[in-house]
Structure 1
């Protein structure tokens, strides 16, 4: 019962504006479902009233980059300038 009360207090801010779409978009991003992630992130940003707009834009850039195949299964190579 205490958990449901705690969730009921945190859920209304998520339902306000595009926060829920951003949260769902981040979920799809982690599941490598970039098309769904991009659609949700764009919808959330368009709705506005976000708690963290910078994070939303960062996640959208990641979804677009991963969707284009730029970083999919490509290891990063670090080169040190000595």
Structure 2
């Protein structure tokens, strides 16, 4: 990770930046405060909505540079159901 950030030139201390990223993503648990809206953004993590582009956020965070996959919540053709496992009904 430090090597990628160093190559992009987006941090004065790529090793320290990589350490911050590792501390944030390991262990592999996404924090969530029960009863609040999910948010997986660049400034805040609190769970995530089912239509959030999690890979884009993680790639951007890990590389310390904007990373766009071109997938938006509008790319989802069927809304997730409101109950687990959140898979929309077949049409």
Structure whose residues are more often helix by fraction: 1
Question: How high is the TM-score relative to the length of structure 2?
Answer: 0.25
Query: What TM-score do the two structures reach when normalised by structure 1?
Result: 0.27
Say which structure, 1 or 2, has more relative contact order (CA 8 Å, 6+ apart).
Answer: 1
| Larger strand percent | 2
